[in-house]
Amino acid sequence: MISSISIFIWIKSTTDYYCSFLMKISKGGTKMRNKQRKSSSLNFDAGCRSSLSFIVWSLVGVALVVCFFSIVRQADTRQNHIYFRHLSATRELEEIEEEHFRMPPPHKVNPRAVKRRGPRKAPKVIDQYLDESSAIHALFFPDERTAVNPTKGGNDSMYFYPGRVWLDTDGHAIQAHGGGILYDHITAKYYWYGENKDGPTYQAHPKATHRVDIIGVSCYSSKDLWTWTNEGVVLPGEPNNANHDLHKSKVLERPKVIYNDRSRQYVMWMHIDDANYTKASVGVAVSNSPTGPFSYLYSFRPHGFESRDMTIFKDDDGSAYLFYSSRDNTELHVSPLTKDYLNITVAMRRILLRRHREAPAVFKLQGTYYMITSGCSGWAPNRALAHAAESIMGPWETLGNPCVGGNRFFRLTTFLSQSTFVLPLPGLPGTFIFMADRWNPSDLRDSRYVWLPLFIGGLADEPLDYSFGFPSWSRVSIYWHRKWRLPESWKRYT
């Protein structure tokens, strides 16, 4: 910036000098010729002045452009610096991995039936994927035989396999859907909280969305993010009281927990709803221990607005924020929490208006806030978008689809999953774990986890909302991998 200003000052003073020098010469020349042609001096002066001022202003323009690009470059160099520092540790994970699976052939159509009924529209791949009996479905929900099993060890140890059944240390499938992770400095452990959906899936009425009765919020602990010990249901449902928010007939989704350093309490926020998703509220619970039990406090509509998919984010300075999809999921709202994290403050900003985004997952790198969201298509997967903001309260700009690799179908469906949380990896700034759910609407308890490496670095590749097309943010990239593990250097920080 300073160098650009000095270039600017130098250009300006040099041009000023030459300008006055040329003026002197021209004046001298004209004086001599004035003997014959008197009036021309004025014309030449004016012409010289206007062309010189044109040159000066052109140079000013050039200097400003140089200045602008030097700022952009500086920001980018800073990002690249982070990017390259960890490149060797994460190089493997930043390689583009194509996915070439062959879709099973469509069902054969009887030509006589076509004659009778006329041609039928071929079912969309996504509908086949959602149909439990289809071969495509089986491809993305491999059975227990391929389960990730931390008790087994062997060559597959520490490898994440997005979409496979993931067992806990007791050998049971992990039940922590729509979840999030808290790192607890006191116990030096990670805690994964999520919806326990280990019950039968049903529809309350033919048009209703598939559901599982509330069982509660599960918690799992781990030191290495791969081996998870079941800490039980830390916020159980209320099976008997039909008026309670947590009665089994209601909806409890997307629980997230943060630690309050002042009150020394673990505070859980969640989406609370009725079976028809008309209550559209947030719920709050607290505990003195990361493993519960959590006491349920209340639910409410933030600032009186509908709140469905939501998340909370704790900033470096201890302030915390609630993000929620509102107004029929057409927009998101962001609101700071009170100091005890048990409520919201009066401040609120509406962001991503008319964008129809949900499943927000917020994270931060070097003073910039980022967010991944999904579109609104219920349990069916859709295209993710990455967003960024200088201030957490906005404005938030949209960067584009963060998914890299796989194939087009994968990238347009967030690898057949929906965002829920983004976990920063300590010691590897710019490297995160993207956590998502691969929902199985016909058997929600069998929904899978898609964890993939997420990186921030390089220039964004799509025009932005508010920046007149100048990409000024770093790109957010989620890399597809069939199988991957955290870099070796990660161990040093656990």
**Chain residues in the site for ligand GAL (CB under 6 A):** 178, 209, 253-254, 309, 358-359, 376, 378-379, 418
CB of 86 or CB of 177, closer to ligand GAL: 177
CB of 309 or CB of 331, closer to ligand GAL: 309
Tell me how far, at minimum, the Cβ of 361 lies from ligand GAL, in Å. 11
Nearest CA to 341 out of 279, 420, 261 is that of 261
Q: State the number of CA atoms in the 13 A half-sphere of 323 facing the CB.
A: 28
CB of 258 or CB of 359, closer to ligand GAL: 359
Q: Which residue has the tokens 């160098």?
A: 3
Q: How far is the C-alpha of 380 from the C-alpha of 95, rounded, in Å?
A: 28
Angstrom distances, CA of residue 429 to CA of 82, 90, 192, 432: 7, 11, 21, 8
Tell me how far, at minimum, the Cβ of 228 lies from ligand GAL, in Å. 21
Tell me how far, at minimum, the Cβ of 209 lies from ligand GAL, in Å. 4
Tell me how far, at minimum, the Cβ of 64 lies from ligand GAL, in Å. 45
Query: Taking a C-beta distance cutoff of 8 angstroms, is the pair 427, 492 a contact?
Result: yes
| Beta-carbon contacts of residue 326 (< 8 Å; ≥ 6 apart) | 305, 306, 307, 308, 332, 333, 350
Tell me how far, at minimum, the Cβ of 197 lies from ligand GAL, in Å. 11
Nearest CA to 162 out of 418, 444, 487, 482 is that of 482
CB of 7 or CB of 275, closer to ligand GAL: 275
CB of 310 or CB of 344, closer to ligand GAL: 310
Q: State the number of CA atoms in the 13 A half-sphere of 367 facing the CB.
A: 5
CB of 178 or CB of 400, closer to ligand GAL: 178
Helix runs in 34-175, H state only: 40-85, 87-90, 111-117, 125-130, 135-140
Query: Taking a C-beta distance cutoff of 8 angstroms, is the pair 189, 266 a contact?
Result: no
Amino acid letter, residue 373:
T
Query: Taking a C-beta distance cutoff of 8 angstroms, is the pair 364, 372 a contact?
Result: no
Tell me how far, at minimum, the Cβ of 384 lies from ligand GAL, in Å. 12
Helix runs in 86-170, H state only: 87-90, 111-117, 125-130, 135-140
Tell me how far, at minimum, the Cβ of 441 lies from ligand GAL, in Å. 8
User: Phi-psi category of 469—alpha, beta or left, where left has phi over 0 and alpha has psi -120 to 50?
Assistant: left
Q: How far is the C-alpha of 164 from the C-alpha of 167, rounded, in Å?
A: 10
Tell me how far, at minimum, the Cβ of 359 lies from ligand GAL, in Å. 5
Q: How far is the C-alpha of 384 from the C-alpha of 260, rounded, in Å?
A: 31
CB of 76 or CB of 253, closer to ligand GAL: 253
Closest residue to ligand GAL, judged by C-beta, is 378
Tell me how far, at minimum, the Cβ of 278 lies from ligand GAL, in Å. 13
CB of 212 or CB of 464, closer to ligand GAL: 212
CB of 431 or CB of 440, closer to ligand GAL: 440
